[in-house]
Chain A
Amino acid sequence: MNDGPLIVQSDKTLLLEVDHPKAEAARRAIAPFAELERAPEHVHTYRITPLGLWNARAAGHDAEQVVDALMTHSRYAVPHALLVDVADTMDRYGRLTLEKEGLADSAEGTRLVLRTTDRPVLEEVLRHKKIRPLVGERLDDLAVVVHPSERGTLKQELLKVGWPAEDLAGYVDGEAHPIDLQQDGWHLRPYQQHAVDGFWHGGSGVVVLPCGAGKTLVGAGAMAAAKATTLILVTNTVSARQWKDELLKRTTLTEDEIGEYSGARKEIRPVTIATYQVLTTRRKGVYTHLDLLDARDWGLVVYDEVHLLPAPIFRMTADLQARRRLGLTATLVREDGREADVFSLIGPKRFDAPWKDIEAQGYIAPADCVEVRVSLPEGQRLAYAVSEPEERYRLASCSDAKLPVIEKLALRHTGEPTLVIGQYLDQLHEVAERLGADVITGETTVRERQRLYDAFRTGEITTLVVSKVANFSIDLPEASVAIQISGTFGSRQEEAQRLGRVLRPKGDGRTAHFYTIVSRDTVDADFAAHRQRFLAEQGYAYRIVDADDL
């Protein structure tokens, strides 16, 4: 019997014992094809999925390497059926290829062809009613013409039927534009460099890094590698401004080269930062700003917070398959389960690292996660018990029993930059009033927001009460305490984003604090348990304390 650190389960999960001396070697061996699912303190769980295996094939690993990695590091014999399944699944990738073919009499000189080495596979997929309309003329038994505009949709559909196509058609270089990193007094961290390299070699794909680990820099690094005009898609205007500031600071780009395309401004420049919102704006059923995508010959498209990518953008992305695409996110978990679309349209995951590893390297702050449970007073318990199911979460999470706890916590961390994050505006205003702090909600103007953020950054104010507008992409360095008082039900990615608010490394190496206040014995606690699972799975042990014990 082998004494490896890995245990291969029959349900295709891999358990990795972290404290085992050979754990690192095993992790490196399985990382290319297995998805890290959970990373608690002692045993990490990876999962082998078809997507993961195809990812590995796309990255040039073959089934033999996968089987070998499993057999070498496994403690017990690997179930034979699983190995067969791995080989079969990996064998499905690459039977179909998308190629560009030179053609003398065509206007463009080339055409896109779906080619196979295995005729039955082509026959099978061509008989699918969703695939049939996407292809054109049949060239011979083994090849069929594909209209360039259907490249993305076709890949998406092929993945759905289990025959992922290997896209060998390559990328257009786009309009060249000199971009370089200005590494004066700072350098890309090793993992950022790995992420950039991983992306660049793969052509397209997604980089997964925890909040605060410097995803923007990975984007900048990718731009420097591409040296081409770039379209950056972000979630909102504030985020767009921050991207702009960061790019100005870290790259050779100047103010004139960076444009903002949002509700307020419509600038198209060599590097353009647009919001999802403006792209998805429709007037009379037509996406009015769709032209932006073709406004320039973009060499690189960056998707920030790819886990939030709205469905219409997916559709638009299907048309952008000839351009390099980089997705950035803290978590690939999509609450809508469209991970497969991210794979087929943006690309496979190119880089991923457990949060705790990056924390251990000192690039993100260590965090202390605490759940504080408050008991509802008698009257509220009764009101809760008889309320409509859809009202329950609001009732439970907005209980005023939470107010004294918030005050107590704010008091304990007086002087430290503190964020109070919530979902319901009434509750936020009430809290702000009691703490004497300012509130940022969707109604707050951009200018006001910027002012408050700046004040917070400089330490002028230490407490901010924010709604979910602040969930994403606001860069608040030195926020070291976050108090979560209500959220979007059981959303795990929201939890990840909120924890991210306090994970940016602190100047003095302080531990960050992340508090969640929940009402005992209500759906609030159930949702909290669901959200916390994500933290625990990222290796963040949390404690549960009773409000009275604070």
Chain B
Amino acid sequence: MATSSRSRADDIRARTDAQLVDLVLARPDLARPSPADLTSLAARAGTRASVQRAVEALDRGHLQVLEALVVAGDGASVTDLATLLGGADEAVVASHLGDLWTAALVWRAGDGEHVVRTVPEVFGSSISGLGAPLAELRPDLASRVPTAEELRATLAEAPDDSRAMLEKMTWGPALGVLPTGSAGRTTARWLIEHHLLLPVSVDRVALPREVGLVLREGRLHRTPELEPPALDSRGASLVDAAAGGSASELLTQVDELAAMWGADPPRVLRAGGVAVRDLRLTQQRLDVTAERTAFVVEVAYAAGLVADDGEIVPVWAPTAEIDDWPSVDAGERWATLALAWAGSTRAPHLVGRRSTGTGPANVLGPDVQWPAIRGVRRDVLRELATLDPGQAPDASSLRDRLAWRRPSRSAAVLGEAVEAVLREAEWLGVTGRGALSEAGRALVDTAFPATPSPIRGDRGGTVGGGITSNRGGPVARRGDGGSTVGGAITSNGQTRGEALHAVAAAMSAHLPAPVDHVLVQADLTAVAPGPLIGSLGAFMRLAADVESRGGATVYRFTPESVRRALDAGWTSAEVIETVRRSSRTPVPQPLEYLVSDVARRHGQTRIGGAAAYIRSDDEAVLDTMLASRDLAALQLRRLAPTVLVSSADPRVLIDLLREHGFAPVHEGRDGTVVHAEAPKRRAGTRRRGPAPVVSPVDLETTRGLVESLRAAEATAADRRAEHDQRSGPSIPATDPVVTLALLRDAVAEHHGVWIGLSDQVGITTRHLIHPERVEGGRVWAKDDAGHERTFSVHRITGATLEG
């Protein structure tokens, strides 16, 4: 066992198949792309990027155990760790340690648990607010590191104000600025003299780790939280009915959105998204808050019901799917929306938020894209699913629980996202009165099934770094256009269709039954006492204005709305007949009067477009024109005895008429005759570039060329000879990840390494180096002659340990 890397690799190699499966499940990024062998799996598991993701995915309990192990040092006993964790239950610590081993953040050797070397790097110098060790801060003092007892003794002698100064730094940060006053200086000086504080720059001091631990009385965390905080909940009644109500309302809103955008689609902004003004119009139409409007729009988009039409002047328009939409069963429509929401990487609550340097985020715009929201949704819904049916979580305890689960997230951002998810779940009907509805539970089972996760307390994948897990993903991954990927397999092995049906079935029973009638009243309103069946709903939306929404819908017939129906091609008789057929109550006379009154005036004046007119007091001339077969191409139309119109350009009209023996003159806007003047066109002056220079292939250039070719050939031959003379082993090409791991190990173990290095022209040379540090894609090393050199890692073709 020459290096720790070997041992870690050996640890991984020694694992059973089941343990390896657990490892990959716990750290899915290791599987993409598939590693070639266990060595490269082990190497990849040790890379900084992968370790970082694994650490960020840890909940606070596991993180604290891992921190404790880093602080306690390799091979620390469980008892030591438990003490460091404030006297935690050893069984819990041991179990957490086992989980960390499963995730290969810790490896086991004969002398106990070791932390993977990259973990401290990821943590950085300050762990839980604790400073760097004394030996690291002052290498000269490394041999005289005081014991805890000695430190305690020194501390006992400390003057009160010095002690107070230390106490301020106890729980971090471990770096402080020296006071400027003379009294403060004296206080600090005492501490510095006794090595309780170490100066790190002119005006800064650091609290060494050893001192910090003594001050913390041997505890690493102020509040060790190995177990998740309790989730408080309260009972909620009528959960499914409330959820059904919200679901039905959402379906209505989506219908209205589609109707509105179908008729008058908003423009796609150049930066993507919908303009604020258009969103406000939509909001007025839907008559809900701005947040809710954004949510409805985003859900419709996620479900592929609206999209950018991709034309030259692009607009947001309903997709072809909207045409079949009304005929789909309401439960399935809801399931489509709910599944799309669960899998969407877009966060509607960010709409209107100002991100740095840009204007407020637009709905459907790029700023609303936030992949982490899917992880938050999954976490929230799963937490809700752990509660008994009919139990609604207490919002603040849910926030605490999620903050515990995702300690690396900013509490404010997470809290806001959790709030948004809860709000949206309520609008969607995934929850009703705060508790997960039956349909919501079905959605969680389908979209976020609990995977058999090896890590207790974290049934999810990773959410860190803005990259979402590859598991537990949405039922159907949707492209930017939102089109459905047919036949995709969901996480729990169902096909998309099955998943949809399962969710739909759970909701269908709670959706208000659709009604096929309205109640029409004398004040020209019509009340639909429930969601209307598709075609009637569309008719009512067309022929009347929506006045009030909710379980029922109140429509009001106005002259404008009736005109809208007439514009859409309905006749007054059809409108009245449809109302009569769908009304449970007799149609009031004023409504009939209103419809016929609007119909009477509808189309009284007509407007059309024409490019040119011909007028003449001599009607016979116009008759001749109309009759002339040669002028048929002009598509002349008679508006009045003395006026013809044509869609041809006036100039064309004049030319053609002249050709056929008429004598028209051009009339200006004010009715006067315009005397045609032949227009004279001029192009802009062309800018001239410099004249081309010709260099002919003459004897001289040919000679030069041949010379340089010869020189190149000679160099190549020299290189070959030199290469053959060089010593050292043959170096196989290795994966850069493996190379890096090997170099890091060499740094730690002070080993020499043979590396293959390719130069600018692609020639590989061998070098024996002693690496000193590996950072930022470069290796600092001493070569054989003892000169310090740096190498770019991407130039290193392979590496092998010396000897």
Chain A positions within 8 Å of B, measured between CB atoms, are: 1-2, 7-11, 13, 15, 17, 38, 40-43, 45, 71, 74-80, 371, 521, 532-533, 536-537, 540-544
Contact = CB atoms under 8 A, between A and B. Distances in A.
A43 B521 contact: yes
A521 B242 CA distance: 47
A43 B527 contact: yes
Contacts of A544: 589-590, 593
B302 to A, nearest CB: 23
Given A80-B433, A544-B589, A41 B549 contact: no
Contact of A543 (B519, B523, B590): B590
A7 B522 contact: no
Contacts of A536: 521-524, 590
B521 A41 contact: yes
Contacts of B589: 541, 543-544
Contacts of B585: 41-42
Contacts of A1: 241, 512-513
Interface stretch (B85-93, B244-252, B611-619): B244-252
A76 B512 contact: yes
Interface in B526-558: 527, 529-530, 548-552, 554
B523 A533 contact: yes
A314 B366 CA distance: 55
A1 B512 CA distance: 8
Nearest to B523: A536
Contacts of A540: 522
Interface of B: 238, 241-246, 248-249, 287-288, 426, 432-434, 512-513, 519, 521-525, 527, 529-530, 548-552, 554, 585, 588-590, 593, 601
Contact of B548 (A9, A42, A80): A9
B245 A541 contact: no
Given A40-B523, A541-B522, A10 B242 contact: no
Residue among A8, A41, A521, A533 with max Cβ neighbours from chain B (10 Å): A41
Contacts of B530: 75-76
Given A38-B523, A43-B527, A542 B241 contact: no
Prevailing SS type, chain A contact patch? mixed
A447 B601 CA distance: 50
Contact of A79 (B245, B522, B552): B245
B329 to A, nearest CB: 18
CB-based closest 5 A-B pairs = A9-B550, A76-B551, A536-B523, A541-B522, A77-B241
A2 B530 CA distance: 13
Given A75-B551, A543-B590, A41 B522 contact: yes
Contacts of B432: 77, 80
B590 A9 contact: no
Contacts of B551: 7-9, 74-77
Given A9-B552, A40-B522, 19 more contacts: A1-B241, A2-B241, A7-B550, A9-B548, A9-B549, A9-B554, A11-B287, A13-B550, A15-B529, A40-B525, A43-B525, A76-B552, A77-B245, A79-B245, A80-B433, A371-B590, A537-B523, A542-B522, A543-B590
Given A41-B585, A76-B245, A542-B590, A10 B522 contact: no
A148 to B, nearest CB: 43
A78 B239 CA distance: 11
A77 B593 CA distance: 37
A528 to B, nearest CB: 11
A41 B245 CA distance: 27
A20 B217 CA distance: 74
A11 B548 contact: yes
A541 B512 contact: no
A175 B524 CA distance: 52
A542 B588 CA distance: 9
A40 B521 contact: yes
23 contacts: A7-B529, A8-B550, A9-B549, A10-B288, A13-B550, A15-B548, A17-B529, A38-B523, A40-B521, A40-B525, A42-B527, A43-B525, A71-B238, A74-B551, A75-B551, A76-B244, A77-B238, A77-B243, A78-B245, A80-B432, A371-B590, A521-B601, A541-B522
A110 to B, nearest CB: 45
Nearest to B586: A41
Given A15-B527, A79-B245, A42 B550 contact: no
Contacts of A74: 551
A533 B588 CA distance: 13
B256 to A, nearest CB: 13
Contacts of A78: 242, 245
A7 B525 CA distance: 16
A544 B434 CA distance: 51
Contacts of B524: 533, 536
Contacts of A537: 523
A21 to B, nearest CB: 15
B508 to A, nearest CB: 13
A542 B591 CA distance: 10
Contacts of A9: 548-552, 554
B492 to A, nearest CB: 30
Contacts of A7: 529, 550-552
B554 A10 contact: no
A43 B512 contact: no
A541 B590 CA distance: 9
Contacts of A11: 287, 548-550
B519 A42 contact: yes
Nearest to A532: B590
Contacts of B238: 71, 77
Residue among B426, B525, B550, B585 with max Cβ neighbours from chain A (10 Å): B550
B549 A10 contact: yes
